[in-house]
């Protein structure tokens, strides 16, 4: 099965699932408007609504993962890209008392890359790092040019990973987090490889995790 056939299969499956889910969501939401409902019934109906919305969001991720990746290569400012990442995660990092430290070589040249896709890849890495520190901590992001590559290092002081989990982190649909279907890092790896780069992860339990991304200059 080629990529186009797989995409059509996934899209068709998602459509078949969404139709009955839409009916359930619509009816449950309508019933919830009845002010005569007892608390237990209202709570159960709200759980149904929340579950359907969760399933719909996961279906969106699954469909997105199945699509062929088309990149738009233009000159990208490393500095602006990393500042955009930190701005997007600012609220979440403050909420979890996580400090973001950004360090970059001065006068880094601008590589040709897909800005939006690299932004997504780096966001996935940083958000994973923040989520690994429920009690607060530090994420350091370093960008430099070394040996013909742009090298990005993301280091957190989080809970780290068991070797078994570390070995599976790029496997689609493998996850240890509740509420996740495990495609964030596989998508990240795919994006980096489409940029002719590579991504490496090292981790020690209770010590933290380091993600290194290299993209040819």
Average pLDDT over residues 70-75: 89
Question: What local confidence, expressed as pLDDT, does residue 182 receive?
Answer: 66
- pLDDT, residue 4, reads 58
The domain tally of the chain equals: 2
Same domain, 44 and 83: no
53 and 83 fall within a common domain: no
Sorted by sequence, the CB contacts under 8 Å of residue 137 that are 6+ apart come out as 97, 98, 99, 156, 157, 158, 208
Pair 43, 102 in one domain = no
Q: What is the pLDDT of residue 138?
A: 95
Stronger pLDDT, 11 or 103, i.e. the higher one: 103
**Could you please report the per-residue DSSP string of 22-88?**
HHHHHHHHHHHT-TT--HHHHHHHHHHHHHHHHHHHHHHHHHHHHSPP----EE--HHHHHHHHHHH
Last-in-domain residue among 33, 48, 66: 66
The pLDDT of residue 33 is: 92
DSSP state of 107: T
The answer to whether the beta carbons of residues 144 and 210 sit under 8 Å apart is no
| 88 shares its domain with 187 | yes
Same domain, 111 and 144: yes
Based on the fold, state whether residues 62 and 84 are members of the same structural domain: no
Biggest alpha carbon distance in the chain? 69
Q: Same domain, yes or no, for 41 and 123? A: no
Tens digits of per-residue pLDDT, 172-216? 776 776 656 567 788 899 899 999 999 999 999 989 999 999 999
CATH code of residue 120: 3.30.565.10
* Phi, psi torsion values for 102, nearest 5 degrees: -115, 125
Q: Can you give the residue range of the structural domain that contains 185?
A: 74-216
Mean pLDDT, range 58-67, rounded to an integer: 74
CA 13 to CA 58: how far, in whole Å? 13
What does the pLDDT look like over 89-139, one tens digit per residue? 988 899 899 999 999 988 788 889 999 999 989 999 999 899 889 889 999
CB within 8 Å of 109: residues ≥ 6 apart: 145, 217
Is there a single domain that holds both residue 56 and residue 91?
no
Residues 58 and 78 in one domain: no
Instruction: Tell me the pairing of strands 208-216 and 149-156.
Output: antiparallel
Same domain, yes or no, for 164 and 136? yes
Statement: residue 64 has pLDDT above 80:
no
83 and 60 in a common domain? no
The pTM score is 0.72
Measure the CA–CA gap between 61 and 120, rounded to whole angstroms: 13
12 with 106, same domain?
Answer: no
pLDDT at 1: 45
């Amino acid at each position: 099965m080629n990529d186009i056939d797989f995409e059509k299969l996934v899209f068709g499956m998602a459509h078949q699932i969404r139709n009955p889910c839409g009916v359930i969501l619509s009816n449950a939401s309508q019933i919830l408007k009845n002010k005569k409902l007892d608390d237990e019934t209202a709570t159960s109906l709200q759980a149904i609504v929340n579950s359907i919305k969760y399933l719909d969001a996961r279906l969106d991720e699954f469909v997105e993962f199945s699509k062929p990746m088309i990149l738009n290569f233009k000159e990208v400012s490393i500095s602006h890209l990393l500042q955009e990442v930190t701005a997007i995660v600012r609220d979440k990092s403050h909420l979890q008392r996580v400090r973001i430290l950004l360090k970059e070589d001065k006068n880094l040249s601008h590589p040709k890359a897909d800005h939006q896709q690299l932004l997504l890849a780096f966001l996935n890495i940083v958000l994973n790092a923040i989520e690994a520190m429920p009690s607060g901590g530090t994420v350091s992001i370093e960008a430099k040019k070394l040996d013909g590559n742009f090298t990005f290092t993301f280091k957190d002081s989080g809970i780290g990973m068991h070797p078994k989990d570390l070995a599976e982190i790029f496997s689609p649909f493998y996850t240890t987090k509740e509420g996740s279907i495990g495609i964030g890092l596989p998508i990240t790896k795919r994006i980096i490889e489409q940029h002719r780069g590579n991504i490496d992860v090292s981790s020690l339990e209770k010590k933290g995790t380091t993600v290194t991304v290299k993209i040819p200059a």
